[in-house]
Amino acid sequence: MFEEKNIKHSSINKKKVRNLVFSPHNREFLTFLLFLFVSACFWLIQTLKNQFETSFEVPVCLVNVPKNAIITLDPPTSIHVTIRDKGTTLLSILFTKKPTPIIIDFTQYSNSHDIVKIPVSNFSKRIASQFGKSTKIVTIKPDTIEYIYSIGKFKKVPVRFNGLLSTRMQYNCTDTICSPQFVTVYAPEHILRKITEAVTKYEHFTNLADTFRQAIEIQPINGAKFYPQYVLYTFPIDILTEKTIEIPVKGVGFPKNKLLKVFPSKIQVNFMVGLHRFKFVNASDFSIEIPYSDLINNKSTKYRLRLKIFPYGISHIRIIPENIDYLIEERNE
């Protein structure tokens, strides 16, 4: 019973659709669409008889590269060819023809200069053979296939970070750790001689409040290849805390019969240091020296102090007091 109702309902729906589609008004509209489609087809056929230009990419493949050769500047992956012909011919080329790659044999073009430059005109016949006789080549870009290689010539160079790094208030970057610290660079000898370091691409990291790690790319050099191309940088971030220590003032370069007396004899050094290093920084890491040569020509009894030695990773250093009184006495025999 249920199936009979469904069949009747389906038959009624089909009848309604048939009546709607083949009503007099809709038949006229469908006829109009048919003529519009036929007209468009004729217009397209006529249009495709005209001359057009289009682009065609011809792949470039470098083969027979020896195992001990490193390509430091790759050749272009393809040659961009602009062709002109009738629209029907161009459509046939684009949809039916698969471009044949230009094969460059490494052994055929290797030389003592490690730099290869091949005019694309050498392959013009090979490129033209991929199209019909009526097809005209308008432009070919680039006009030269160039690549640079190195055979057994490399050296290790240190990596240098290139960029800026800033932290939040009361935080400090305590170190800059690079892994690996050295990378291998491959290049022709005349290029290799000029490379003394591997510089990273410029980076700007801001508002850091926790240890930060980032893989950074080595800045490329034309004709050279770095391995690895990326290095991992770690920037330990520590919260800053204040510390004060007392250190003595030392006189250096004084004659044996001269004695330096300073007031006060011990100086306070106030600085900011990361919480993790707080207990490891002590007075032995600092030195304040007064050279005798500075005092000979000093007309005042006061001297402005400067830290000679202080540990890495501290900031906001203050010497208290910054100026001291001094006296040079004769030493007893």
Give burial (CB, 10 Å; 0-12/13-18/19+) of 255: exposed
Query: Residue 140 CB: number of other CB atoms within 10 A?
Result: 18
Interstrand relation of 203-208 and 171-173 (parallel, antiparallel or unpaired): unpaired
Predicted confidence pLDDT, tens digits, the chain (333 residues): 445 545 444 555 555 555 555 555 566 666 656 665 665 555 555 555 667 778 788 899 999 988 778 888 889 999 988 888 776 777 677 777 788 888 999 888 887 778 899 998 888 888 888 877 778 888 888 889 999 988 878 999 999 999 999 988 888 888 889 999 999 999 888 889 999 999 999 999 999 989 999 999 999 998 899 999 999 999 999 888 999 999 999 888 888 888 888 888 889 999 988 888 888 899 999 999 999 888 888 888 889 998 999 988 788 899 999 999 888 888 776
What is the pTM assigned to this prediction? 0.59
Q: Are 223 and 189 in contact (CB under 8 A)?
A: no
- The pLDDT value given to residue 212: 92
Assigned superfamily of 154-235 = YbbR-like domain (2.170.120.40)
In the chain, where does the domain assigned CATH 2.170.120.30 lie? 52-151, 241-330
Q: Kindly tell me the burial class for residue 70, based on how many C-beta atoms sit within 10 Å of its own C-beta (0-12, 13-18, 19 or more).
A: buried
- The sign of the torsion formed by the CA atoms of 225, 228, 232, 233 equals negative
How far does Cα 265 stand from its chain's mean position?
A: 54
CB contact at 8 A, 90 and 130: no
- DSSP characters for 219-248? PP-TT-EEESSEEEEEE-EEEEEEEEEEEE
Distance CA 266, CA 248 (A): 4
| 127 in Cβ contact with 140 (< 8 Å) | yes
Question: For the chain, how big is the Rg over CA atoms in Å?
Answer: 40
Q: How far is 87 from 91, CA to CA, in rounded Å?
A: 6
C-alpha span between 205 and 172 (Å, rounded) = 13
Measure Cα distances from 293 to 84, 115, 322, 329 in Å.
85, 59, 19, 15
Q: What is the CATH number of domain 52-151?
A: 2.170.120.30
CATH of 241-330, one of 3.30.43.10, 3.40.50.720, 2.40.170.20, 2.170.120.30: 2.170.120.30
Max Cα-Cα span within the chain: 135
Start-end of CATH 2.170.120.40 domains in the chain: 154-235
Residue 321, preceding peptide bond in cis (omega within 30° of 0): yes
Question: Which residues does residue 69 pair with via DSSP β-bridges, in sequence order?
Answer: 151
